[in-house]
Structure formats: C-alpha cells, structure tokens
Amino acid sequence: MAKNIAILGSTGSIGVQALDVAKNLGIKVSGLSANSNIELLEKQAREFNPRIISTGTRELADKLNEKLDGLGIEILFGIDGMKKVAAVPETDSVVTSVVGIAGLIPTLEAIRNHKNIALANKETLVTAGSIVIEEAKRNNAAIFPVDSEHSAIYQCLNGNRHQDVKQLILTASGGPFRGRRRESLENVKAADALKHPNWKMGNKITIDSATLMNKGLEVIEAKWLFNMEPDKIKVVIHPQSIIHSMVEYIDGSVMAQLGSPDMKIPIQLALTFPERAGNDFSRLDLLKCGALTFEVPDMEAFPCLGLAFEALKEGGSMPAAMNAANEAAVGLFLKDGIRFTDIPRIIEKIMQKHSVNTKPGLDDIIETDRWARNTVGGLV
C-alpha cells in the first residue's frame, strides 16, 4: 500500500476524491498541484501540509504564497512546478488526474523518479503510450489504472494468463444523448451535454462521454495498459454503469467487476493493490439495481468512437493528433464556438490532414499536439 503520495490535479473531481481516500487510509500527502483553483488548493494545503504545491501561473503562486506564509510549503508554478511535485523524494505513488495532455510530462517525470502511478489521465497513454510504457519498464514503476473501466479489467485479468484472453469488453453508459439520432444532436447545448446520467465528472470528460470519445480514449489506453491489440477490445453500451467492464476468455468464461458508480473505489485500489482496505463508500445492492442491459454503440450518431479506433490502428503520432483535435474542439464547444456535431467533423479533418510519424519521440508528440491545435484554430 502507498504510504506517501502526490496528486497532480488535486482540485478536480478525481483529485478531491483521492484526498478523501488518502485521509481514510492514513496516507501522507507530500505534493499537490492545481491549475487555477487556488482557493481550494489553499484549503487542501492547510489540511494535508504537503512539502510542495504548484499552480498554473506565477501570479497565482505569488497569491498563494501570501495566503500560506509561515507554513513552510514550497510554492511553485507551471510545468516545472508540476514536475517537482511529481518527483518529491519521499513519495512512492503519484496520482495523475490532470486533464488532457498536460499530464504527460509530469507523469513521465514521476516515472523517471521511480514512482508508481495511479493513472486517471487518459491522454498520457493515448498520446505517448509506447514511450510511457517503456519508461515504466525501464524505471521499474508500476502503473495502476484509476478509470473505473480499466480498474475493472485490471481486476478481471489478475491471476489469469494473458494468452487466454479472447477480448476486453469496455462498458459505456452512453451519456446523456443515448438513443438519439445524429441529426437531432446538431443544436444541443453544452449545458445539455454536461448532464451525465450516472457520474459526476469535470466538464471536458463529461463532454467526451457525451460524444463517446471518452470511450475511444479508453480503448487506446487499454491497448497500452494491457498489451492488447485493437481487434481484441470491444465497447458495449451499459446504461446502468453497474458492470464497469469485463474480460472474455478463450474458454467462454466472462469475468466482470461490479460496483456502485463511485470513483473512490478504483482510486483506493490503485493506492492499496494488492491489498484491499475497508471503507464507508457506497455499496452495491443487487436487489435494488434493477435489470442490467447492453446495447451496441451507435457509431453513426457518435462517430468519435470510430475515429478513436481508426487512430489506434493507424498508430504512431495519429492518436496524439486526434487527441489534440478533440481537446481543442471540446474547448470551443464549451464556449459555444462550434456545434456538438462539429466535434467529430473537426477531429476527422485533422486526422485526414495529419502526416503520421510511425515512431515518434516525445518532442514529436508535443509538436503533433501543437500542430493539431493550431490547425483546428485555422479550420474554425
């Protein structure tokens, strides 16, 4: 079990819940980072007394320094600050819950400093999976998934042989627009897309869930986490979000992990594995959860899922280009700059324009990300 952790993205939904889990388990918190919510970051710093905290900008760091004067906490900012938080010597595990590709560099820094990773940042593996996995092997750093779907698969695979797996089955709620046709989605607003039926998440990931891109990113992440080829990864719509994912084996057995839709459960397991710890989190009552149903995802109405599979099969730098286009497009949609259905259209155009680098290094990934975002700006 982790004894000392740092959290990248401590003021977001996962970060806040990770702190609750740490408090429940008696785990010390040595580092925290947040982008702009310094009011909450200040409260967290006072409660958990980390050695280092980091904010998005120098201005915010200066403001926080005034508020926390006398506590002896080192206050940093920017990407260098996040890297310092990720590399605190006494830390044994780093929870990476930063949204977007911003989590890539500090996660690699943590790995290079031999920290285990509790990974809640999909984009780290989506954009640079081969680089991250190789670094983890080189530095003997374990990567424990925090996403409920990947945590479920991790548990269903435990104790079984990789060669006996027929397929991984990722479940998806279907989001707030499940069952609607594509033409009916042209004029939906951000406020509608942010009404997820089962989970409370940040804005970006909630929009990704509405477009099914979130599941597409999870497909790519699953390829790297579990060393699985794309044709062995399947997505099914499961509106109740009770079965978090499944693994089918070559003998016909299907193993599933069930639980309440509560992210504290996979967060805790990522910090305690292979142990399990008691808690007062919400419990699943099978007699009250009702019927469990499954549907085929509608890739015509929600083409982002198909685009993610295409990017994964193309490989190289294509997933990084796709991810950057998605981040940029979602940002525009949240500001009412484009329509909901423009998100997949923009992503597809970027993928068509992108010249794939088949063996990208880290600098290539960063350049691909920059190019894709700039190109989205030009398209709009």
Q: What are 133-190's pLDDT values in tens digits?
A: 999 999 999 999 999 999 999 999 999 999 999 999 999 999 999 999 999 999 999 9
Would the pLDDT of 200 be above 80?
A: no
Average pLDDT over residues 87-99: 95
pTM over 0.85? The answer is yes
Single out the residue of 23, 24, 30 nearest to residue 4, CA to CA: 30
Same-domain status, 192 and 77? no
Same-domain status, 127 and 195? no
pLDDT at 240: 93
Same-domain status, 191 and 209? yes
CA distance linking residue 165 with residue 186, whole number of Å: 40
DSSP string, 6-38: EEETTTSHHHHHHHHHHHHHT-EEEEEE-SS-H
pLDDT at 195: 83
The dihedral through the CA atoms of 56, 58, 63, 64 has a sign that is positive
Average pLDDT over residues 68-91: 96
Same-domain status, 119 and 154? no
Would the pLDDT of 248 be above 90?
A: yes
Same-domain status, 23 and 112? yes
Q: Which residue has the higher pLDDT, 360 or 2?
A: 360
pLDDT at 144: 97
Average pLDDT over residues 70-94: 96
Average pLDDT over residues 108-125: 96
pLDDT at 100: 84
Same-domain status, 128 and 158? no
Count of the separate structural domains present in the chain: 2
Single out the residue of 268, 6, 228, 226 nearest to residue 116, CA to CA: 6
- Residue 272 in contact with residue 25, Cβ under 8 Å? yes
pLDDT at 380: 79
Percent of the chain predicted with pLDDT > 70: 99
- Residue 285 in contact with residue 240, Cβ under 8 Å? no
Out of 127, 145, 163, a domain closes at: 145
Out of 113, 129, 145, a domain closes at: 145
List beta partners, residue 143.
Answer: 117
CA distance linking residue 131 with residue 129, whole number of Å: 5
Q: What are 294-341's pLDDT values in tens digits?
A: 999 999 999 999 999 999 999 999 999 999 999 999 999 999 999 999
CATH (domain of 68): 3.40.50.720
Which structural domain range is residue 45 located in? 4-145
Chain CA centroid to CA 103, Å:
9
CA distance linking residue 268 with residue 266, whole number of Å: 5
Scan for tokens 């200066």, then name that residue: 62
Out of 110, 145, 180, a domain closes at: 145
- Residue 220 in contact with residue 308, Cβ under 8 Å? yes
Would the pLDDT of 199 be above 90?
A: no
- What mean pLDDT value characterizes the chain? 95
DSSP state at residue 58: H
Q: Side-chain half-sphere of 318: how many Cα atoms within 13 Å? A: 19
Q: Encoding tokens for residue 288?
A: 């009250």
Cβ-based neighbour number of residue 206 at 10 Å: 22
